[in-house]
Amino acid sequence: MDALSLRRRRLPGVILVAVGGELDILTAGRFGAFAGRVRRPGQHLVVDLTATTFLSCHGLRALLEVGDDVRRDGGVARLAALPPGPLRLVRLPHADALVPVHATVEDALCAAAARPPVLTDPEPLAQ
């Protein structure tokens, strides 16, 4: 049985990624690579953690790194529907100040829709 499940859904201006299972040292890299593949510059990202059963400091780091990548590309990453255990890990080091946390997926999607993406200029091609 796989310890991590990842699904994505494209919505206007937002990518919704559902994370199920354990986000830890063994799966954090897989989550980061998946998020990097499914998102586009200027799009927001909502990470649905409803089905996340365990979040380690490595998983939290992966969430924050993806949040930084999204922000650099002109979007905002948001975490949604964290179960109590993972929510405690996010709030203890005040990581929720870096990546907004919402009680429900619907709240996160509404917040993303209220903030239009900022399109960034592509980097010039190297000569």
Please indicate, yes or no, if residue 87 is contained in any of the structural domains: yes
pLDDT tens readout for residues 63-98: 999 999 999 999 999 999 998 888 888 888 778 788
Please indicate, yes or no, if residue 10 is contained in any of the structural domains: yes
Scored b (16 or more CB within 10 A) or e, 52-84 reads bebbbebbbebbbbbbebbeebbbbbbbbbbee
If pLDDT is split at 50, 70 and 90, which confidence band does 18 have? Answer: very high
Please indicate, yes or no, if residue 18 is contained in any of the structural domains: yes
If one counts every other C-beta atom within 10 angstroms of the C-beta of residue 102, the result is: 20
Please indicate, yes or no, if residue 104 is contained in any of the structural domains: yes
Estimate to the nearest angstrom the gap between the alpha carbon of 30 and the chain centroid.
13
Average pLDDT of every residue of the chain: 88
CATH number at residue 103: 3.30.750.24
Find the domain containing 27 and state its range: 4-114
Please indicate, yes or no, if residue 120 is contained in any of the structural domains: no
Q: Is the pLDDT of residue 123 over 50?
A: no
Cβ contact 24:54 at 8 Å: yes
pLDDT tens readout for residues 31-64: 999 999 999 999 999 999 999 999 999 999 999 9
Q: Alpha-carbon dihedral of residues 67, 71, 106, 10, nearest 10 degrees?
A: -90
Number of domains in the chain: 1
Please indicate, yes or no, if residue 124 is contained in any of the structural domains: no
Residues above pLDDT 70, as percent of the chain: 88
Q: What pLDDT does residue 5 have?
A: 97
Q: What pLDDT does residue 110 have?
A: 93
